[in-house]
Structure 1
Amino acid sequence: MTPSPATTAARLTAPRLSTGAVLALASGALILTLAMGIRQTFGLFMGPVCLALDIGREQFGLAMAVQNILWGAAQPFAGALADRFGALKVLLAGTFAYTGGLVLMASSGTYAMFQTGAGLLVGLGLSSVSFAVVLGAIGRAVPPQRRSAAFGLASAGGSFGQFAMAPVGQAMIAALGWSQAFLVMAGFALAMAPLALLLVRASSAGANAEATPESFRPTSSPLAEGGLQAALREASRHPGFWYLNAGFFVCGFQVVFIAVHLPSYLADLGLTPDLAAMALALIGFFNIIGTWGCGLLGGHYSKKRLLFALYAVRALTIAVFLAVPKTETTVLAFAAAIGLLWLGTVPLTSGLVGQIFGVRYLSTLFGLVFFSHQVGSFLGVWLGGVVYTWTGSYDAIWLASIVLGVAAAILHLPIREQALRPALA
């Protein structure tokens, strides 16, 4: 792929980030580090929680599925509230819900308590402290030429969280037990509150410093003047918006199934919990590289073609993993490869939404696309447990992940990447 002359010119004239934009980017990345890192450890808790509560993998998977569907269903509303009233109140509400959910999970004596904490409270909390709200705040603080790279850096924070928290989570389970480990996680989650305050203040400063007629004009276009309803109508009539929804559905199906069920899949093969934790950490480490890299590439090359390549290679990686013998080497190699492809979809997809529709209602529109991701997450993690209960194997879900990956790759090719109006970019 060769960048166009317009892209090259934009790259050469891209302004430097203001201090406010840099602080917004750093604090947003740290929020995503905690929000995404903590939840990525939940698969490590499956064995001890199922044993303590006398439940099966299907029930544990259902709690994670409810978490993901509520996260996705509430995400557009959280994004709309952030667009309408500002991000701070939304981020703080999400922090307290997330923390409360972890505390309830730690004190669970019944499956109903665990489901309420893990499914309801953590799911609602995640809707307010994850990508749509955080990237929306960052997107307003940076100029368009830097936006894709900024989204990649911030999204890489979630990857670093998985890298850092997976071994920590496994060590805490081994040393303290699953209940006390959840309480420590709750303490980590509470740290998102001061970070939210820093993000919002820095975002406002960054937006004021960067705002120019070319970079940020929230009321200069017909779409912006028409308000949120006009933005929603415009998006609903754009075929690319629905292709992005379909692709992100597949992303959710694949990554949440792997994140939650991979430790149990490896245990069934006689491999150790420490290897599972190492694999999740390795996914997180390489996801830092992959997410940041996709963000950088998205600033220079066609985002839809990058998404095509990402989904196609992800399907191939899963197919190869199924075909080879499962040893420590092949598991870690798979973790590294899938990590490079893990959340690179986020800066590319959110960047494409902003590129086509503008950033004025980015939190809302990306929140809607993210809901599709979470519908896929619900089905991937829940069906993983159901299929295992019925068949004693995860093979059918692995195969479905391959087929869906190929379909997602193809669906991105017809997307028209041009901004609906130049002022929206």
Structure 2
Amino acid sequence: MNTGQKNTESQPGRAARRGAVLAVAAAALALLFGFAAPAQADDNVSTIANGLSQSRLYVTAEARQQASIDQNAVRSALDRQGEADIRAVVVRNQAGQEAMGRMLVAVKNRVGEGETYVAITADGSRMTGISKTFDTREINQLIARSDPGSGAQARLTAFADVAETKADDKARSGMIGGFVTLGVVILVMAGALGAFLVAGKRRRAREAREMAELKKGVEEDVTLLGEDIAALDLNVMDQDLDPDTRRDYERAMNSYDEAKAATERAARPADMENVTTALENGRYHMTATRARLAGEPVPERRAPCFFNPQHGPSAKDVVWAPHGGVARSVPACEMDAQRVLAGEDPDVRMVPYAGGRRPYYDAGPAYAPYAGGYYAGYGGMDLLGGMMIGTMLGSMMSGGFYGGGYGDMGGGGFGGEGGDVGGGWDFGGGDFGGGGDFGGF
């Protein structure tokens, strides 16, 4: 009896103890899940951004409780839009204007893609957006055209349609503008190319004319030297001819042949420098030959006569100034030196130029190598530069023209998280209602 009674009493006790344990566990679980529930809220920036990274539409739990929204239908409407590229968030009715705007900025910074973001309350009464595609005026107009009294689902669908139409129009306008700009650029480039080709053609024609005139002038110098040599008519084979005379005469003839060959080879003004260098050499040896034949001392080898290099080597330096120019010392042959000293004009070498004749030192850049060759052995351009101050060639030389021969002669990136809307994003939403904060961030 005592044993049976003891067993009977122990079972209720154990049941009571188990009930107490279960009650404590239930209370603990209730407390645990009760405090954890707020952490599972789906209206914070991170959760919304994660949702919009996977879909164009995100609807918070509170919004689902406040309104019946066919999310598939809205997603389908948003997915059909290409140019507008819209991401939409449906929030609780109590969300305020400022809070919705801050949420969109923070969300788009996290998502990092999409052209337009909109937030709308579950009842569709308030809607706002930010966009890289539309400016503030445009997005406000689109929001206003989406019928504020139609509810969130209808309003988002309408907004998607009007936004896409507007985006398509902007894209076409941009394309047309691009084509117009491209056309203008092409016309400008074509005009520039045409002007360049015309200028090039004119330049080549001018250079061809200058080269032809220069060659004619050089040929005159070569011909004159040849005539002087022929007029002397020495027989270099004559055994009685003085060896020094024969040597100078042969050097003159060789220089003539060299000048003639160089003239025939010349293709540009710079090539004429070799011609006039050979002519200067030939002229000196002809002067030496005549002096030897006359029994006179061979003259000192000096720079050619400045006024006319055809005259051969100079005899002295004289002070001379071109008309209206500065006086300077120049080498001159005896005849020209006497003229200058007597106040008369020297016998200046006139060369072909622009269909007429002009002093070689005022006949344009093509004659720079011509002059340079005559004075190459006497200081070259350093000598000429001082003598030709105030002349056309002098101005080119001082400017470095002659250096060894003529003819060598809408939207941006996202802004930072939070803060102001920047980077090309415009904020819109003219039908905000006031009051309330957007929870979760």
- TM-score of the pair, normalised by structure 1: 0.20
Q: Relative contact order (C-alpha < 8 Å, sep 6+): which is higher?
A: 1
